[in-house]
């Protein structure tokens, strides 16, 4: 069975796949692309390879793609923050409209068994579009909660793969504010099983770094003999 690939171009929640087998449900994969480039994007090419291997390993896998360049996400505003901290039963139609984009992204994330994020490093950090996505999915009462011992993530039981590409910044070096940040944010919302694939400092050794990244993908997602 070929994978179901939904392109999440609009901020609407994912429809349920009625044809998914009930006995052994195939995993649902949420793909997040953050590179502003399409042609020639290293992170997108590596994510393609990773997704192909995941689907080959789990035939019938359901893939939703959220391309952060396709639809501009709203940035946080004071009215949005006010809506976040208004109790659901007290929210007005205006509150619900403001929360619509965030609700849709949170629903996508909750529905996923596997999260795959592909991102470049721009100016030592994540692209603005990815930061906007993070701001919209990091929601008290939805993806984490406050307790007497501090915040606790609610999105447990999920696995994440993060593919990072960079021209000059070495991944997880002292000037990389993308990889460590993403690891922290994912753990904050409860996703602690995270694997990284890095194709960093590509301007220094393009071919060698791509070979290393491809080998890492093959190691993380082995195929049946």
Q: Which pLDDT score, from 0 to 100, does residue 5 have?
A: 58
pTM: 0.89
Architecture of domain 4-9+23-220: 3-Layer(aba) Sandwich (3.40)
Tens-place pLDDT, residues 83-139: 999 999 999 999 999 999 999 999 999 999 999 999 999 999 999 999 999 999 999
Q: Which residue has the tokens 């307790």?
A: 147
Residue-wise pLDDT for 180-197, tens only, equals 999 999 999 999 999 999
- Is 100 buried (19+), middle (13-18) or exposed (0-12) by CB count in 10 A? middle
Q: Mean per-residue pLDDT for 31-57?
A: 96
Break the chain into its structural domains and give their ranges.
4-9+23-220
Helix axes 93-111, 128-137, angle to 10 degrees: 100
Residue with tokens 């993308």: 178
Average pLDDT over residues 53-74: 94
For residue 117, report the phi and psi dihedrals to the nearest 5 degrees. -110, 125
Q: How would residue 25 be classed by pLDDT, with cut points 50, 70 and 90?
A: confident
* pLDDT classification of 16: cutoffs 50, 70, 90: very low
Query: Alpha carbon of 78 to those of 42, 68, 81, 141, 194: distances in Å?
Result: 36, 23, 5, 19, 32
Two tokens at 221?
Answer: 């997602």
- 9-30 average pLDDT score: 60
Angle subtended at Cα 36 by Cα 48 and Cα 189, rounded to the nearest 5 degrees = 70
Percent with pLDDT over 90 in the chain: 85
d(CA 170, CA 189): 26
pLDDT for 146: 95
pLDDT at 6: 58
pLDDT recorded at residue 24 = 56
CB count, 10 Å around CB of 59? 10
Q: In the structure, what pLDDT confidence band is assigned to residue 223 with cuts at 50, 70 and 90?
A: confident
Is the model's pLDDT at 170 over the cut of 60? yes
Task: Using CA atoms of 85, 86, 88, 94 in order, give the dihedral in degrees to the nearest 10.
Answer: -110
| Spatial contact of 58 and 142, defined as CB atoms under 8 Å apart | no
Residue 34 has pLDDT above 80, yes or no: yes
CA distance 96 to 90: 10
Average pLDDT, the chain: 91
Q: Are 144 and 138 in contact (CB under 8 A)?
A: yes
């Amino acid at each position: 069975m070929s994978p179901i690939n939904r392109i999440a171009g609009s901020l609407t929640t994912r429809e349920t796949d009625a044809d998914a087998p009930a006995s052994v449900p195939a995993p649902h994969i949420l793909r997040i692309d953050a590179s502003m480039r399409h042609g020639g994007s290293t992170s997108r090419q590596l994510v393609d390879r990773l997704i192909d291997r995941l689907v080959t390993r789990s035939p019938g896998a359901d893939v939703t793609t959220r391309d952060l360049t396709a639809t501009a996400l709203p940035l946080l505003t004071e009215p949005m923050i006010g809506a976040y901290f208004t109790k659901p039963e007290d929210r007005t139609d205006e509150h619900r409209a403001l929360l619509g984009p965030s609700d849709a992204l949170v629903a996508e994330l909750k529905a996923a068994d596997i999260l795959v994020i592909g991102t470049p490093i721009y100016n030592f950090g994540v692209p603005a579009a990815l930061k906007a996505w993070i701001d919209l999915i990091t929601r008290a009462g939805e993806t984490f909660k406050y307790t007497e011992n501090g915040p606790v993530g609610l999105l447990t039981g999920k696995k994440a793969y993060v593919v990072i590409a960079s021209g000059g910044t070495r991944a997880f070096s002292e000037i990389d504010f993308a990889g460590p940040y993403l690891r922290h944010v994912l753990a904050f919302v409860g996703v602690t099983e995270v694997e990284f694939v890095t194709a960093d400092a590509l301007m220094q050794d393009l071919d060698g770094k791509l070979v290393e990244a491809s080998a890492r993908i093959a190691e993380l997602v082995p195929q049946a003999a």
